[in-house]
Amino acid sequence: MSLQQPLGPLIVGIDGTSLDDSSADLLCHPAVGGVILFTRNYESPRQLRELSDEIRGLRTPRLLLAVDQEGGRVQRFREGFTPLPPLGLLGRWYASHPDRARDLAYRHGRVMAAEVLGHGVDLSFAPVLDLDRGSRVIADRGMSADPKAVADLGAHYIAGMKDAGMRCCGKHFPGHGSVEADSHDEVVVDCRDLEALEDDLVPFAELARRLDSVMMAHVCYPARDPEPAGYSRAWVVDTLRQRLGFDGVVISDDLDMAGAGPAGSLSERVSRSLDAGCDAVLVCRPESARSLLAQERAWRLPSAGTLEGLYGRAMAALEEQLLVPEFRAWRDSLRALT
């Protein structure tokens, strides 16, 4: 019998390719609301389905299952999945053949989502809406340097995801792509003025009504607020919620990252994120999550149904979709681009 308790605000990583007692205990903690899976959690399609079933059976409502399945450098599930080209390829096509690029963006989102959902995982944190303007960590993860192109391609990518039955997550608000440093490794500061920052906001502004969730950037923009964006009500509430009209789920990036460091301890990072208006926070290292939860801190819970609203609902079984010639052709066309 599954444990019945509301979902908490933490989305955590786990060890291994199956649930041991330690991981199960971690996931049953009341502060946990979801799981993010990585390459360390994957060995085969069958194993992934079994792991997903194990996690789904732990609690009611069930935990949200998520992954970063962007394509290119960031594709956690590979063996047995379609190899997905980096999103930057879409932008290169868009420069000369925009209709072809839009079609590829739809196929990319549709195939990615169908395969992930078909293995029991709800959500890929996609699409990347950062501009490809010199960031080491974004680079070809971004679709283009042109904000209008990113918005256009992003709309078609999201349409593909939603036609497969997956919600979407635009990242990393308000834009990580125009500053070189990598927030995984250091505190990142984007010193541009507010006028220059407007370009990065364009894809989020144009897609705000289509996005189900948004992930914040661990980047400081002193022209707006000296704090990293995920700790800033000026960005989360005043800009994203009120100015852009976004009414979905706001999620922090991984709080283990160096770019999240200005808030202090991991517990302080969680509190600062939630106080700024984030609905959920990522803690990707299992050892960090265990240490955090051992402190028995109480954090604000998301509103009822918040994370449940990001559950995936596959439109058809993956096995059924693979019988459709058009779907197989979409997979083959993406594979040919890698």
Residue 203's closest CA among 260, 157, 236, 134?
157
Alpha-carbon gap, residue 221 to 134, rounded angstroms:
16
- Mark whether 253 is an active-site residue: yes
- Mark whether 172 is an active-site residue: no
**8 Å CB contact between 258 and 186:** yes
Assigned token pair, 305: 């149904």
Q: How far is CA 281 from CA 8, 25, 36, 248, 314, in A?
A: 10, 19, 11, 14, 25
Contacting residues for 183 by C-beta, under 8 A, at least 6 apart: 137, 176, 217, 218, 219, 253, 257, 258, 259, 260
Residue written as tokens 């960590």?
137
Residue 263's closest CA among 251, 280, 275?
275
Among residues 140, 212, 253, 254, the one annotated as catalytic is 253
Exposed (0-12), middle (13-18) or buried (19+): which is 106, by Cβ within 10 Å?
buried
For residues 157, 162, 166, 170, the Cα torsion angle rounded to the nearest 10 degrees is 40
**8 Å CB contact between 235 and 222:** no
Q: Strand 213-216 and strand 169-173: pairing?
A: parallel
Among residues 15, 103, 182, 184, the one annotated as catalytic is 184
Active site residues: 184, 253
